[in-house]
Amino acid sequence: MRRGSKAGMYFRMLYRAAMLRKGQAASALTAIVVAAAAATAMLNLYLDVQTKLQREFRNFGANIILQTKAGEHFTSEDLQTVRDIVGNRGPVVPFAYTVARAANDQPIVVAGTDFTLVRKLDPWWSVSAWPKGDGEALVGVRAARALGASPFILSLHGRDIHFQLAGTVQTGAGEDSRIYVSLEDLHSWAGIEPSVIEVAASGSSADVASLLHQLQQSLPAVDVHAVRQVTEGEANVLGKTRSTLLSSAAFIVCTAALCVLATLVGWVFDRRRDFAIMKALGASDRLIAVFVAGEAVVLACVGANVGFVAGVGIASLIGRVNFNAPVSARLDILPVVLVGCLVVTLLSTLLPLRLLRRIEPAMILRGE
């Protein structure tokens, strides 16, 4: 007999076995596809959620603050150094502070900053309208009540300046008592330069720590510190969410895998008459095992690939619904899912086959 026809016979048997029991083959395949899809979706989400949530956590604002010593200020080279080090990892926002006096001689903190950057840094600010041009100020709600009508006059070291009130800001914290103007306005009015730089750096806590170290190295004269409230809180919430997700993923994948096991074990037991006939016709135990294993491999490969596609779809759907951003498909999950499927299908077909091997074909064919 030629080798080709032997292999041909093998595939014919696999094909016919699937075709003759379409329903059972389909339900076995369904179980595997579902398990593979669940595993893919959960792994994909687990790997992606960290990045997604970290982006959300950056809305908490600055996690690194650079502060000059009293009486000193950041030069534009210093600011550029910080920007170069941080790169595109998040906004770098300079702040300049001084205390001016309002018309009623009330002392009030005036802060100079870059409004487009602050919007990115502190998205929780509830702002009625952002300043657009020179001479416009963003006034804290408490400061606004103390100042009265717009335009208002502020004086510093005997120099008065008029500011137009562009809008108010409410945060429930120190910002409510301050007046925010542009850095240029503050500089031309009082010659005040930035003394604080706030950085909202993205990435894991290790990334942020290394960035902090880098900044400390390149600006030794400056006090660089992490905002512990933000960094520690984030690590906590993120870690626990990931653990929950991982446990949930384990539950779901185990359930689906065990259901595959139950389905395939039932299937193999159901076909004991077929195996008995094959044995009666002269097939060795080994040949039957190879035949069943072949089936299992085909099922696993088809199931894993279809399931992978479905799982990526589910993960990206969840990403879009929940985070308004698709979860990127990770091809490196495919081999993991494929191997998992192969292990589960081979286990759940070859184990029951071993049990059947002990039984004489005659007994099975008699229906005992």
What's the min distance (Å) between Cβ of 290 and other proteins?
23
What's the min distance (Å) between Cβ of 259 and other proteins?
3
Nearest to other proteins of 10, 30 (CB atom): 30
β-bridge pairing 126-127 and 159-170: antiparallel
Q: Binders of other proteins among 198-217, rule CB under 8 A?
A: none
What's the min distance (Å) between Cβ of 27 and other proteins?
4
CB 39 within 8 A of CB 337: yes
> Contact with other proteins (CB under 8 A): which of 5, 76, 80, 248?
248
Number of residues that bind other proteins (CB under 8 A): 84
| C-alpha 41 chain-centroid distance | 13
Question: Considering the rule CB under 8 A, would residue 323 count as an interface residue with other proteins?
Answer: yes
Q: Within 10 Å of residue 70's Cβ, how many Cβ atoms?
A: 6
What's the min distance (Å) between Cβ of 223 and other proteins?
7
CA distance 311 to 317: 10
Compute CA distances 154 → 71, 186, 187, 241, 298, whole Å: 22, 11, 14, 48, 79
Nearest to other proteins of 8, 148 (CB atom): 148
Residue type, 38: A
Compute CA distances 41 → 124, 245, 330, whole Å: 32, 12, 10
Question: Considering the rule CB under 8 A, would residue 344 count as an interface residue with other proteins?
Answer: no
Question: Considering the rule CB under 8 A, would residue 31 count as an interface residue with other proteins?
Answer: yes
CB 94 within 8 A of CB 113: yes
Q: Binders of other proteins among 137-156, rule CB under 8 A?
A: 142-143, 145-146
Q: Which residues pair with 111 in a beta bridge?
A: 97, 180
Q: Binders of other proteins among 64-103, rule CB under 8 A?
A: 67, 97, 99
Nearest to other proteins of 79, 310 (CB atom): 310
Q: Which residues pair with 27 in a beta bridge?
A: none
Q: Which stretch binds other proteins (CB under 8 A): 72-80, 197-205, 238-246, 285-293?
A: 238-246
CB 170 within 8 A of CB 176: yes
What's the min distance (Å) between Cβ of 198 and other proteins?
12
Q: Binders of other proteins among 165-204, rule CB under 8 A?
A: 170-174, 177, 196
What's the min distance (Å) between Cβ of 170 and other proteins?
7
Question: Considering the rule CB under 8 A, would residue 357 count as an interface residue with other proteins?
Answer: no
What's the min distance (Å) between Cβ of 88 and other proteins?
22
Nearest to other proteins of 12, 145 (CB atom): 145
Question: Considering the rule CB under 8 A, would residue 230 count as an interface residue with other proteins?
Answer: yes
Q: Which residues pair with 169 in a beta bridge?
A: 127, 140
Compute CA distances 105 → 41, 101, 120, 151, 292, whole Å: 63, 5, 34, 16, 91
Nearest to other proteins of 10, 318 (CB atom): 318
DSSP 93: E
